[in-house]
């Protein structure tokens, strides 16, 4: 089981241009999906988002970008943001800074082919960031993105439980919602939840492509 931190109190104290955990929006929420592109699960998710006119943000893994470039093309063409979720998805915890930066910049170079941006918002694998990478991002004016609402879609639980939670305790304005597209759970839940959220007046957007 991969440990995914639910709270980022310390990171939330840093300037939001460096580390974004939520936004100051009063009108919008932000869905984000990690660990794709996935040939089985990402296309149906894109179908669901398109059906409801919802734009989102995808934090992609470099190795999977190389394996499934046509899915990345589709993500960008449909108006979603693509972010950097490292090259191999190995934890940065026991990785030296040179290797960490290689993971970051290799994936940036891959993503650049699709959206023409030199750098991309970064969500490190498992949410782990060390002091040296944080300093690098600060000096390079780059941006890390975390989340303020964890959907818990990676937990072993029936879809019904996920749906109930998303409907009973929905994301608040400005929330960045963590979900994953390496399984079908997010899509199964969103097929039910999104129409109800939209009917309640909730609106969603992709994150801007880089630091504001």
Active site positions, annotated:
34, 180
Q: Exposed, middle or buried, 147 (CB in 10 Å: 0-12/13-18/19+)? A: buried
* Contact present, 114 and 73 (Cβ < 8 Å): yes
Interatomic CA distance for residues 46 and 55, integer angstroms:
9
What's the gap between Cα 163 and its chain centre?
Answer: 20
- How many beta carbons lie within 10 A of that of residue 32, not counting itself? 26
Between 148 and 202, name the residue whose CB sits nearer to Zn ion: 148
Q: Which two tokens stand for residue 191?
A: 């097929």
To Zn ion, the closest distance from the beta carbon of 147 in angstroms equals: 11
Alpha carbon dihedral 197, 202, 203, 205, in 10-degree steps, equals -70
* Contact present, 97 and 68 (Cβ < 8 Å): no
Between 4 and 99, name the residue whose CB sits nearer to Zn ion: 4
Does position 35 interact with Zn ion (CB under 5 A)? The reply is yes
Residues contacting Zn ion: total by CB under 5 A: 3
Binding residue for Zn ion, selected from 34, 108, 175, 182, defined by CB under 5 A: 34
To Zn ion, the closest distance from the beta carbon of 1 in angstroms equals: 13
Segment interacting with Zn ion, rule: CB under 5 A, options 5-13, 34-42, 152-160, 182-190: 34-42
To Zn ion, the closest distance from the beta carbon of 34 in angstroms equals: 4
Does position 181 interact with Zn ion (CB under 5 A)? The reply is no
Interatomic CA distance for residues 102 and 150, integer angstroms:
28
Between 153 and 175, name the residue whose CB sits nearer to Zn ion: 153
Does position 103 interact with Zn ion (CB under 5 A)? The reply is no
Between 23 and 84, name the residue whose CB sits nearer to Zn ion: 84
Binding string, 106-135, against Zn ion, x = CB under 5 A? -------------------x----------
- How many beta carbons lie within 10 A of that of residue 174, not counting itself? 17
Q: Which residues bind to Zn ion, rule: CB under 5 A?
A: 34-35, 125
């Amino acid at each position: 089981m991969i440990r995914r931190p639910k709270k980022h109190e310390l990171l939330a104290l840093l300037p939001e241009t460096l580390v974004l955990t939520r936004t100051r929006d009063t009108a919008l929420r932000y869905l984000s999906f990690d660990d794709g592109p996935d040939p089985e699960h990402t296309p149906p998710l894109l179908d669901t988002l398109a059906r409801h006119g919802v734009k989102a943000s995808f934090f992609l893994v470099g190795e999977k970008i190389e394996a499934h470039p046509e899915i990345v093309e589709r993500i960008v063409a449909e108006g979603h943001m693509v972010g950097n979720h490292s090259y191999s998805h190995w934890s940065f915890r026991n990785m030296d800074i040179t290797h960490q930066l290689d993971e970051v910049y290799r994936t940036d170079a891959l993503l650049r082919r699709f959206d023409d941006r030199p750098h991309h918002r970064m969500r490190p694998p498992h949410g782990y960031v060390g002091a040296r990478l944080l300093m690098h991002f600060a000096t390079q004016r780059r941006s890390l993105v975390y989340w303020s609402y964890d959907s818990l879609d990676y937990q072993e639980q029936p879809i019904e439980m996920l749906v109930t939670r998303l409907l009973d305790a929905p994301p608040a304005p400005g929330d960045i919602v963590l979900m994953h597209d390496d399984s079908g759970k997010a899509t199964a839940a969103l097929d039910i939840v999104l129409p109800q959220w939209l009917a309640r007046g909730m609106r969603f957007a992709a994150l801007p492509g880089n630091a504001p």
